[in-house]
Amino acid sequence: MIYIVKSKDETRALAKSFATKLKKRDIVCLNGDLGAGKTTFTQFVFSALGVKSPVSSPTFSILKIYQGDKFRLNHFDTYRITDMEAIEAGFDEILEDKDSVSFIEWSENISSLIPSKHIDVNIKILDENSREFEIKYE
């Protein structure tokens, strides 16, 4: 499904709708250029799922874990790591956790760890305020 959003408020509304469809063990792969809105979308989804603390990019820590109303939320940023580094860090075990949902920015860097059943959120910059979101349930 493709969605065009023209503001942060529209992105927030899309994220809120998307959040209602998530269930335990879902893996969400966020793809897009730098500045496309991967972290912003994740922040809005996590807020809709009941996360009260600020959600920031895990660029340097690589993984941040939050508690939502229904389940734990794992937020990965794999921009700077490889499949092997992710395996050594135990990411595969975290992705298999039956009580959480995982969001992975730059998922293409750990593609061998991504199960065939996952959700792709592809974000394309259209202009300063507008984005195209393509959401595919694999």
Residues 6+ apart with CB under 8 A from 35: 125
With a cut of 90, say whether residue 62 has pLDDT above it: no
CATH code, 2-137: 3.40.50.300
pLDDT at 83: 66
Q: How confident is the model at residue 94 (pLDDT cuts 50, 70, 90)?
A: confident
